[in-house]
Amino acid sequence: MKKRAAALFTLALIALPLTAFPLTNTNKSPVTNNVFLAEFYEGSATNQGAEAGGASSFWSIVNIILYTAIFGVVAYFVVRLIVRKSALPVSEDKQVVDIILTKTMGLSSYLQIVKIGKAYYLFSLGSDGLKLLDKIEDKETIDFIELNRDSLKPKETKFFDILSFFPPGKKIDKLDFMRQQKDKLKKM
């Protein structure tokens, strides 16, 4: 149902501008350059009188805004559809595959400890792809990973977390600030 409605909406968008300009000559005579130019200049002369009233320019602006809004909505849904169709399905099941640790080793290379089922693996992730480095079989290492699992998990980085790296601003008392400004103005 949604696809049919989207197709009809797109067809209406294409057909709407075409209805504003008829494809046939209303005079029923063959169109020549001179006839076309005469009709064009007659229409522009009558349109200039209408534009002086402001009605034609108002509707032109309304049409521009309307078509821009329609184009924006259609573009939004087309991009959303493309992204949805091209995205790979991702499972959120932590029982089968769970990323335990991600450590940056360079500009675009990482080490990851991943639990797949009941086994632990060490992967190298870089610009050349994902490579299996080793299967972790040492019982002490596995116990250490299990005990410190929550502290080793990669943390989600949000925009506000990035802003926390900047130094905080100074806390200034408003009344004290106003007194300082007043003293500066008196000294001038």
- Tell whether 8 and 67 lie within a shared domain: yes
Position 57 in a domain: yes
- Tell whether 30 and 71 lie within a shared domain: yes
Domain assignment of residue 80, given as a range? 2-86
If one compares 148 and 43, the residue with the highest pLDDT of the two is 148
Q: Is the pTM of this model over 0.85?
A: no
Checking 92-101 for CB contacts under 8 A at 24+ apart, the result is: 99/153, 99/154, 100/145, 100/149, 100/152, 100/153, 101/145, 101/152, 101/153, 101/154
Task: Convert the pLDDT of each residue in 79-88 to its tens digit.
Answer: 988 888 877 6
Is beta strand 97-104 parallel, antiparallel or unpaired with respect to 119-126? Answer: unpaired
Of the candidates 86, 112, 144, which is a domain's last residue?
Answer: 86
Q: Rounded to an integer, what distance in angstroms lies between the CA atom of residue 81 and that of residue 9? A: 15
Task: Convert the pLDDT of each residue in 105-146 to its tens digit.
Answer: 888 899 998 888 889 999 998 888 889 999 999 999 888 888
